[in-house]
Amino acid sequence: MMESESASGASLSPAEDILQEPPAIEVEGLTKIYGADGGDSPIHALRAVELRVPRGEVFGLIGPNGAGKSTLMRILATLEIPTFGRARVLGEDTWTSRLRICRQIGFMPELFYLYQELRVEEYLAFFASAYDLPPAGRAKAVEDVIELTDLGVRRDSFCGSLSKGMRQRLLLAKTLLHDPELLILDEPTSGMDPQARIEFRNIIRTLSKLGKTILISSHILSDLSAFCSSVGIMEQGRMRVSGTVEEISRALALVDQVQVGFLGPPGPLLDALEEFEGASAVELRDGCVRFGFEGSEEGLARCLKTLVGCGIPITRFEHRRSDLEDIFVRVGADQVS
Ligand code: ATP
């Protein structure tokens, strides 16, 4: 097997080589000011954004309208030039390596135009040729993306006759034609009905299993919480937090939540929990004892044993890890405080 050379000249094993691979996305101090060249009221769309997305992640970008998500994505897709800072995609600078990046990424913009009078298969064949795929591989590329996005039954339908969900699937199919390593999907589920959203999510999961790195934006939390391995929350051009749910939970000091159902007086349970290491914010609410918990699985088991030892019958012991929703609530709460 071939070995490659590191910058220092030492040879690397294949495993080390993979570890040396640059992340899919690296953004440093990225700032975009529209109208910076003399307009009356310049708009700060991005303010010193920092972001790192390792390869293989499904990274969700969340934020309200105007937060800067599309601007960030367009810069990563090499369609906008930053005012300050820099962005690297798959190790290449978006400013100096535009063509090389374009060959390796698939960008699905929020707004797009479909040639209404073309049929689905014709539309894809047209783009397979526009993307300059090798002629011998075009038909297979079209078939592969039709299968991936489950568009087989609509291959002969006119683009103009497709529902919103089908149109989004077709646009995704087009985005996948050149088998890009990184997908940048700007609000792909916006305007879809719940069933279409579920189907779209399943396609994203399949793409993730195929090893694609995916950057996907939405202002609807539930769209992303189901399948994103990490997230970034944007607000007014700033990246408020980013990382895996565990990393952000730790940074925000979010703790897991436990609910205990019981029969009889809660006093002994409350007393025991006040003393128990790792338990915090103990309260009685809606007939349940609730508390935050920080500790290992063993610690949790000890906690349950302690409560059972209080002699009060326990009917329920529910442990819930902090999730994206908790993070969003906390960040949202910080915004108004
Ligand atoms: P949405 O969810 O509504 O798409 P977003 O988070 O994607 O919002 P952006 O579209 O990046 O946000 O917009 C960020 C800010 O930059 C907004 O104030 C927007 O009006 C402004 N903006 C975006 N594109 C341009 C442009 N081409 N010229 C001037 N201002 C722009």
pLDDT digits (tens, 9 = 90+) for 227-262: 888 999 999 999 988 988 878 888 887 888 999 999
Per-residue pLDDT tens digits for 212-223: 999 999 877 777
Whole-number percent of the chain with pLDDT over 70: 92
Instruction: Tell me which of 252 and 142 has the higher pLDDT.
Output: 142
Q: What residues contact 225, with CB distance under 8 A and at least 6 apart?
A: 60, 323, 324, 325
- pLDDT above 80: residue 197: yes
Per-residue pLDDT tens digits for 18-46: 557 899 999 999 999 998 776 668 899 99
pTM strictly above 0.85: no
Sort residue 115 into left (φ over 0), alpha (ψ -120 to 50) or beta: beta
In order, the DSSP letters of 158-223 are: BGGG--HHHHHHHHHHHHHTT--SEEEESSTTTT--HHHHHHHHHHHHHHHHTT-EEEEEES-HHH
34 lines ligand 1 (CB under 6 A): yes
Judge contact between 151 and 166, C-beta under 8 A: yes
Residue 192 pLDDT level (bands cut at 50, 70, 90): confident
Of 136, 219, 121, which is closest to residue 170 (Cα–Cα)?
A: 121
Ligand 1 atom 30, closest CA: 34
71 lines ligand 1 (CB under 6 A): yes
Task: Name beta bridge partners: 109.
Answer: none
Please state, as a whole number, how many other Cβ atoms lie within 10 Å of the Cβ of residue 128: 22
- What pairing do the DSSP bridges indicate for beta strands 213-218 and 92-93? unpaired
Testing ligand 1's pocket by substitution, the residue of 33, 61, 62, 69 carrying the most ligand atoms inside 8 A of its CB is 69
What's the 237 CA to ligand 1 centre distance in angstroms?
A: 9
Ligand 1 atom 3, closest CA: 65
Q: How many whole angstroms separate alpha carbon 280 and alpha carbon 17?
A: 45
45 lines ligand 1 (CB under 6 A): yes
The mean pLDDT value of the chain amounts to 88
Q: How many whole angstroms separate alpha carbon 252 and alpha carbon 264?
A: 36
Residue 118 pLDDT level (bands cut at 50, 70, 90): very high
Q: What pLDDT is attached to residue 325?
A: 78
Instruction: Give the residue-averaged pLDDT of 62-88.
Output: 94
Of 92, 72, 52, which is closest to residue 243 (Cα–Cα)?
A: 52
Instruction: Give the residue-averaged pLDDT of 166-186.
Output: 95
Q: What pLDDT is attached to residue 44?
A: 94
66 lines ligand 1 (CB under 6 A): yes
Testing ligand 1's pocket by substitution, the residue of 33, 65, 215, 234 carrying the most ligand atoms inside 8 A of its CB is 65
Ligand 1 atom 31, closest CA: 34
Q: What residues contact 235, with CB distance under 8 A and at least 6 apart?
A: 63, 64, 67, 331, 335
Give me the residue label for tokens 């915004």.
335
